[in-house]
């Protein structure tokens, strides 16, 4: 039974099919042209950047920090800046103490010559009230610093990486930096002062001469390194210099540390905080804060090595 409409014969389009074909034929080139225009300009709503052209100009984001516009640069954030590269530089990182020292008390108690006196090979370091050891803290922060500096192209040498039975002794720690002909050495520590004493500080070598100790050539560059560390650490962590050390500038000169006395290359210690103060301890035991501390140390070293 017929309903009054007939399908088109094979190979011969009917009226409706012919109309559709004409419409598609007209639309396809227009759609293709529109897609090509979109692809060359990018989709601002989706965040897709336009493809670069010979006339395009790349504008790098500003790296000036703070409301004052001071040049506080982040070693992670400015890898593309050739002026911040550490290629060809040697940095020795000295994680203070050793997690295994506590199992070798007699070995680390033996005396070694620090040039002007005798001192124990090493110590166990301090710990928070909850038992988080300084030696664990220094290794964690030092490894984070190493990653940041290597990303900038530096060669990084460790005095120990938790891979020794104990130590090394303070005289060997200095010798590792000397033999590496390091451009900078930073010994990472945390303090064990009384509760209520808060903040970080950097220890500089005093001018000493005696036995194998002669710091006359390194006191000036070590001070410059120390100042850069104070600035970088404060910028990265937001912490203030120690409220119980020196005149509040975060710097302390000492003549009783073998790691400094025996160094022939620029070297400083940084005490990142006070493990015996509850507020400082809360930071030192926080992984996110330790990453900020590592960035501050890496920033200070980078600033020093870039002059």
Annotated catalytic sites, by residue?
Answer: 271
Sequence-distant (≥ 6) Cβ neighbours of residue 52 within 8 angstroms: 58
C-alpha distances (whole Å) from 53 to each of 48, 49, 56, 58, 210 are 15, 12, 5, 10, 65
Sign of CA dihedral 20, 22, 24, 27: negative
Q: Which two tokens stand for residue 126?
A: 């301090």
CA atoms within 13 A on the CB side of 167: 19
Instruction: Please identify which residue in the block is written with the tokens 């094979």.
Output: 10
Region at 297 (left for phi over 0; alpha for psi -120 to 50; beta for the rest): alpha
**C-alpha dist (Å) from residue 76 to 60, 62, 202, 296:** 15, 14, 23, 11
Displacement of CA 131 from its chain's centroid (Å): 26
**Burial class, 120, CB count within 10 angstroms (exposed 0-12 / middle 13-18 / buried 19+):** middle
Listed residue (265, 262, 283) closest to 274, CA to CA: 283
DSSP 295: H
Q: Is the distance from CB of 292 to CB of 236 less than 8 angstroms?
A: yes
Strand partners, 90: 155
Sign of CA dihedral 193, 130, 95, 126: positive
Q: Max CA-CA distance within the chain? A: 120
């Amino acid at each position: 039974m017929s309903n009054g409409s007939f399908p088109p014969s094979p190979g011969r389009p009917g009226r409706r099919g012919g109309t559709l074909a004409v419409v598609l034929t007209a639309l396809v080139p227009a759609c293709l042209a529109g897609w090509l225009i979109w692809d060359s300009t990018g989709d601002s709503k989706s965040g897709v950047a336009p493809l670069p052209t010979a006339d395009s100009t790349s504008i790098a984001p500003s790296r000036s920090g703070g409301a004052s516009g001071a040049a506080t640069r982040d070693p992670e954030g400015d890898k593309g800046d050739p002026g911040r590269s550490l290629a060809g530089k040697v940095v020795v990182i000295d994680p203070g103490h050793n997690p295994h020292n506590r199992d070798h008390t007699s070995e680390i108690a033996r005396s070694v010559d620090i040039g002007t006196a005798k001192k124990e090979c090493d110590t166990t370091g301090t710990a928070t009230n909850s038992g988080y050891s300084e030696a664990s803290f220094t290794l964690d922060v030092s490894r984070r610093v190493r990653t940041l500096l290597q990303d900038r192209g530096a060669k990084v040498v460790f005095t120990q990486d938790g891979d020794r039975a104990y130590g090394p002794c303070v005289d060997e720690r200095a010798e590792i930096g000397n033999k590496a002909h390091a451009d900078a050495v930073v010994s990472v520590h945390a303090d064990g002062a009384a509760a209520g004493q808060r903040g970080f500080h950097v220890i500089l070598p005093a001018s000493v001469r005696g036995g194998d100790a002669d710091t006359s050539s390194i006191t000036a560059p070590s001070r410059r390194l120390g100042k850069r560390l104070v600035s970088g650490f404060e910028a990265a962590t937001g912490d203030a210099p120690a409220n119980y050390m020196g005149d509040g500038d975060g710097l302390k000169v000492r003549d009783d540390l073998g790691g400094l006395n025996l160094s022939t290359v620029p070297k400083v210690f940084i005490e990142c905080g006070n493990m015996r103060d509850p507020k400082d301890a809360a930071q030192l035991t926080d992984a996110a804060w330790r990453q900020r501390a590592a960035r501050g140390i890496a920033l200070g070293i980078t600033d020093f090595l870039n002059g």
